[in-house]
């Protein structure tokens, strides 16, 4: 297994947790880290403007536990100056060890303002953002990485240009979700595009993302594409033990069998307890409902019990529901590969009016008044 380095950090395996809004908060990262310490677990994405202005929700999102190393945060925005100010602020305060730049989010509330997946369509703007980010982080020894998609559409592919610009501007690594923004989460990830990026972006590590549901998928992706590591998103929803499996598989060791329902129930309870400590029980248990559905995916628990898990409102109620399950129950054959999280697409990509008329310009969409996106 090849060694992956991001700045001065060398993870125990070339595996990164993808930032996912509303998911990869401190409790979720703790659950993943307990199964596989020493990897890169990225916090939720935050908006640069909200960081600069001290938005209260964004401040709460930028929470790390005392034992997290490295402390990884993803930042997005479309204004190079604002990006630089945000990264300088969090680096100067000693709050992060690694910053990932989001150039791949297809959500309308992000791309409509020219952020996320919209940025790579304008290579000069992309370069200015990356240059500002690296310049702000470098004095503090904080590496900048970038995660992006193939492009907005099949007719406007930008991944090779994006990777080249990231390398030229001092990026420490790049990661490709091998779908277009229009494709959203539909269909099959185009792993061949990861191989193409790896062939032209060999100066810095290239990581692949998309359709890794089991550890064997990561082994296969790295073999087929030559990429230096993998980024895990939806595949770990309700399955934080996937990171343990990845470490074993990528080190050539046998992967443990999937947990029984009783073992999964113990993990659920641990996760819910951490979330209660993080958000307070009322908010936490409402938030945990989606996690409960993901944990139960692939286990034959019956529709009525599954429905009750989806309405859980207290930790005590969760304990009672777990007690009603058969702890010896195994996941169904192929249950690990049942899709979790977003599956929709294709979508109509929302962009600022006239955004694609002049792709070489440096016009910055006005994201200064949309702090509600981060805490969004």
Question: Would you state the structure tokens that stand for residue 357, as one six-digit string?
Answer: 């008329």
Instruction: Give this prediction's pTM.
Output: 0.95
The answer to whether residue 15 scores a pLDDT higher than 50 is yes
Fold of 15-255+354-373: TIM Barrel (3.20.20)
Q: Which residues contact 351 (CB under 8 A, 6 or more apart)?
A: 111, 112, 114, 118, 152
Q: How many whole angstroms separate alpha carbon 316 and alpha carbon 376? A: 30
Question: Would you state the structure tokens that stand for residue 37, as one six-digit string?
Answer: 């310490």
Report DSSP state, residue 78. S
What pLDDT was estimated at residue 374? 41
Three-state secondary structure call for residue 12: coil
What pLDDT was estimated at residue 18? 98
Q: How many whole angstroms separate alpha carbon 51 and alpha carbon 63? A: 13
**Average pLDDT estimate for 134-140:** 98
Query: How many angstroms separate the most distant Cα atoms in the chain?
Result: 60
Architecture of domain 261-328: Orthogonal Bundle (1.10)
Mean residue pLDDT of the chain comes to 95
What confidence tens digit (pLDDT) does each residue in 37-59 have?
999 999 999 999 999 999 999 99
What pLDDT was estimated at residue 28? 98
pLDDT band at 3 (very low <50, low <70, confident <90, very high): confident
**Average pLDDT estimate for 210-237:** 97
DSSP codes of every residue in 309-361: HTT--SHHHHHHHHHHS-TTPPPPTTGGGS--S------PPP--TTTTS-TT-
Give the residue numbers marked as catalytic.
105
Instruction: Provide the residue ranges of all domains of the chain, joining segments of one domain with +.
Output: 15-255+354-373, 261-328
Nearest Cα to 249, choosing from 278, 212, 279?
212
What confidence tens digit (pLDDT) does each residue in 240-251 have?
999 999 999 999
What pLDDT was estimated at residue 326? 97
What pLDDT was estimated at residue 1? 65
């Amino acid at each position: 297994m090849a060694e992956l380095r991001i700045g001065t950090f060398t993870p125990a395996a070339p595996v990164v947790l993808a930032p996912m809004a509303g998911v990869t908060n401190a409790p979720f990262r703790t659950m993943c880290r307990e199964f596989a310490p020493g990897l890169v677990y990225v916090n939720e994405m935050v908006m640069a403007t909200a960081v600069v202005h001290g938005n209260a929700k964004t401040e709460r999102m930028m929470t790390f536990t005392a034992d997290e190393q490295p402390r990884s945060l993803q930042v997005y925005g479309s204004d190079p100056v604002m990006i630089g100010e945000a990264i300088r602020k969090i680096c100067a305060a000693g709050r992060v060890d690694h910053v990932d730049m989001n150039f791949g989010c297809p959500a309308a509330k992000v791309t409509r303002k020219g952020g996320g997946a919209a940025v790579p369509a304008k290579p000069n703007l992309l370069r200015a953002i990356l240059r500002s980010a690296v310049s702000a982080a470098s004095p503090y020894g904080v590496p900048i990485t970038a995660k992006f998609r193939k492009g907005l559409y099949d007719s406007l592919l930008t991944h090779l240009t994006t990777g080249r610009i990231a390398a030229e501007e001092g990026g420490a690594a790049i990661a490709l979700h091998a779908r277009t923004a229009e494709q959203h989460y539909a269909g099959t990830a185009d792993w061949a595009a990861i191989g193409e990026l790896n062939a032209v972006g060999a100066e810095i590590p290239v990581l692949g993302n998309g359709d890794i549901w089991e550890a064997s998928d990561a082994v296969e992706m790295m073999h087929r594409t030559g990429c230096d590591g993998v980024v895990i998103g939806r595949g770990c929803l309700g399955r934080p033990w996937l990171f343990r499996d990845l470490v074993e598989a990528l080190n050539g060791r046998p992967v443990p069998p999937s947990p029984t329902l009783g073992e999964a129930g113990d993990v659920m309870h641990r996760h819910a307890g951490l979330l209660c400590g993080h958000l307070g029980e009322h908010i936490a248990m409402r938030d945990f409902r989606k996690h409960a559905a993901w944990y139960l995916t692939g286990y034959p628990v019956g529709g009525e019990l599954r429905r009750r898990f989806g309405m859980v409102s207290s930790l005590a109620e969760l304990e009672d529901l777990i007690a009603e399950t058969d702890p010896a129950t195994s996941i169904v054959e192929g249950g690990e590969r049942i899709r979790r999280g977003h599956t929709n697409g294709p979508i109509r990509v929302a962009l600022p009016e006239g955004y694609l008329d002049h792709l070489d310009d440096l016009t910055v969409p006005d994201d200064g008044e949309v702090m509600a996106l981060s805490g969004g």
